[in-house]
Amino acid sequence: MASGPDGFVQHPSYTAEFAKARGLLLAHPGRWRIIYHYDGDGIASASSAVRALRRLGYSVQATPLVGVERPRMETLLTASLGPVLVVDTGAAWMDLYPKHPHPVVVLDHHQYPPLPDLPPHVALVNPLDWGVDGMSELCASTLTWLFTIFLDPRNWDNVGWGLSGAISDRQHVGGLKGLNRTLVEEATRRGLVRPTRGLRLGSAPLGTALAGAIDPFFRGLSGQRERAEAFLRALDLDPSARASDLPEEAATRLAGALRRHLEEQGARPEFVDVLVQDGWTIPSLGVDAQEVANWQNATGRVGTPGVGIALALGDAEAMGRARRAEATWREGVLGGLLRLEAGGIKERKSVQWFESPEPTLAGTQAGLAMNYLLDPNRPVFAFSGTGTEPFKVSARGTPWLVGRGLDLSAACRTAAAKVGGEGGGHRVASGATIPHDGREAFLDEVDRIVAEQLGGTKP
């Protein structure tokens, strides 16, 4: 009998998929290559996996994957002389793994095309197969955390990495749901996490926090230090004070003023609510999971994802490097949002799009711009690429649009294939890689597809 939360999901595929994956991993001790997506969710997933495999005495090599890159996956499989664990990516390429002569285990929460029967040495674990929504109820990091618990119950202590990835994937907005919530409630019962609730402006002085705010992004205040401080003084608040030190009345007054500011700039209610939300302190780390999410996401986005994993392994130098990465990441994201605030967004009938010179930041810029700056009726597509190199495409919508029929995974996959590229992801957030000369045709196709998904008219 596998150790772990066997009864959390009452679906035969839940038991079967975890049992096959667990059996393959435990039957092949030694060196495993872990392939992971370079974003916060992927780094957190790899962190749990590396910690768990090292706890088993296995040696590991962790390799990041950027974007939708089938050729890169093919190259990595060819170069891997042993078993492979793929996290937060890879479900769209299940046709590749049967050719690998060693076991391949894939832990992914993205939508994927229909599969043939998998050979005994290949396992896929995906919550979509058990009726659990991988877009909102279980991300890759909480899936990987859950898998490590099936390997060894001691891995409940991977809660910090499971939670940080869920926050990076924004599955905490509006409160944890589904299996995410079940896992965190159990970790709380075990004393491994302490829930909190309050104004989420970080630990910096208010003036610094407001001027540097990206989530939420405050039009006219973010990136504007003098305006941000004037806004605070008008509320009789000291810009050098910290949100955590404010008396309850002052915190309520500030939250109310910031809510009104977001409402006036057109943010939807669910993103206004991000101001005051749940948090989760990780006692073993002495910080909130949001900070861990920022550090790991930042290390990936500035090109040093290995630092995020080193942080999870307790590397003495990783914390300082992660903090510096976060500062660089925030500056880059804020700069992109300020560019969009000043203009630069282009429009089609049913979609909007822009160019980003920062390919590793484009997805974050697109998501936050969609939430706080742009027309909420149309999803946004960000394009990164110079010269004649392929475009990396990041597409973002909102749960509100998904509820009205939006499926960016299908749109990106279909439109990319039409121009000789490849795409996929979630209904609310997806991506693609397309030839440089295929952008106009890609935009024509996604505009058509999204119009059909949303009923041909703006919601």
Q: Which helix (H) or strand (E) holds 324?
A: helix 318-342
SS (H, E, C) 176-235: CCHHHHHHHHHHHHCCCCEEEEEECCCCCEHHHHHHCCCCCCCCCCCCCHHHHHHHHHCC
457 has pLDDT over 90: no
Average pLDDT estimate for 200-207? 88
Q: Where are the alpha helices (DSSP H) in 65-203?
A: 70-79, 140-151, 159-168, 178-189
Is the CB of residue 152 less than 8 Å from the CB of residue 55?
yes
Tell me what percent of the residues of the chain surpass a pLDDT of 90. Answer: 84
For 355-389, give the DSSP string: E-S-TTTHHHHHHHHHHHTS-TTS-EEEEE--TTS
Average pLDDT estimate for 35-64? 96
CA 192 – CA 198 distance, rounded (Å):
20
| 3 pLDDT tier (thresholds 50, 70, 90) | very low
Residue 343 contacts by C-beta under 8 Å, 6 or more apart in sequence? none
Average pLDDT estimate for 399-406? 95
pLDDT at 4: 55
Average pLDDT estimate for 155-168? 96
All CATH 3.10.310.40 domain ranges of the chain, comma separated, are 343-453
CA 64 – CA 88 distance, rounded (Å):
10
* CATH number among 1.20.81.30, 3.40.50.970, 3.10.310.40, 3.40.710.10, domain 343-453: 3.10.310.40
Bridge partner list, 66 = none
Average pLDDT estimate for 12-29? 96
pLDDT at 344: 86
104 has pLDDT over 70: yes
CA 215 – CA 200 distance, rounded (Å):
9
Among 8-12, 133-137, 197-201, 211-215, where is mean pLDDT lowest? 197-201
CA 274 – CA 444 distance, rounded (Å):
34
Name the class of domain 12-191.
alpha beta
Is the CB of residue 189 less than 8 Å from the CB of residue 182?
no
Side-chain-side CA neighbours of 456 within 13 Å: the count stands at: 0
125 has pLDDT over 60: yes
In tens, the pLDDT along 231-253 reads: 999 999 999 999 888 999 999 99
CA 192 – CA 194 distance, rounded (Å):
7
Average pLDDT, the chain: 93
pLDDT at 69: 76
Helix-helix angle 159-168:40-55, to 10 degrees: 160
Biggest alpha carbon–alpha carbon distance for the chain: 67
CA 336 – CA 93 distance, rounded (Å):
32
| 6 pLDDT tier (thresholds 50, 70, 90) | confident
2 has pLDDT over 50: no
All CATH 3.90.1640.30 domain ranges of the chain, comma separated, are 12-191
Q: Which helix (H) or strand (E) holds 299?
A: helix 289-301
Residue 50, helix vs strand vs coil: helix
Q: Which of 36, 24, 27, 53 is nearest to 118 (CA)?
A: 24
In tens, the pLDDT along 322-360 reads: 999 999 999 999 999 999 999 989 999 999 999 999 988
| 376 pLDDT tier (thresholds 50, 70, 90) | very high
Length of the chain: 459
52 has pLDDT over 70: yes
Side-chain-side CA neighbours of 221 within 13 Å: the count stands at: 22
In tens, the pLDDT along 286-332 reads: 999 999 999 999 999 889 999 999 999 999 899 999 999 999 999 99
Q: Which of 364, 359, 395 is nearest to 170 (CA)?
A: 364
In tens, the pLDDT along 63-96 reads: 998 866 788 999 999 999 999 999 999 998 999 9
Considering the entire predicted model, what is its pTM? 0.85
pLDDT at 113: 84
Q: Which of 431, 399, 454 is nearest to 111 (CA)?
A: 431
Could you say which DSSP state residue 45 is in?
H
Average pLDDT estimate for 52-60? 97
Bridge partner list, 396 = 380, 429
458 has pLDDT over 60: no
pLDDT at 387: 83
CA 32 – CA 455 distance, rounded (Å):
47
